[in-house]
Amino acid sequence: MLYEIAKTADVFLTNYMPAVRQKNKFDVEHIRAVNPKIIYARGSAYGDKGPQREVGGFDGTAFWTRSGIGHALTPAELGGALSQGIPAFGDSIGGMNIAGASPRRCFTVSAAARRWRSTYRCSARRGGPREPASPGHGVG
């Protein structure tokens, strides 16, 4: 069923670790085998490369503590690090990065938007019909 959905999808996003993606056959090569043009994005605590790629992480340990953000936000006079004050602190920042906040890479939403703009012209009417763009006349 996943492959059937992937055939017509623009984007595939996962936060599963590499071994799970391989075992269940939904890593990038499996998904792109059914849809070569799909935008495949993966996000996890310690990334997809390196010695800790198979280590799961949680917001308070992976982002708040190991990144140093907790220490950086703690006033020196406290004598110890602040605990994470709000939930999903790193999850929110990670989500924005995957969505397209990083100028150095082509991420999910920004890549999908570029693809859409190169395929369709914007209609003058909100919610109006989308017309295929003429070659070289994408919006944006």
Active site residues: 91
119 vs 122: CA distance, rounded Å = 10
Pairing of the two strands 120-121 and 131-132? antiparallel
DSSP helix/strand/coil, 31: helix
**Is-contact 111 105, C-beta < 8 A?**
no
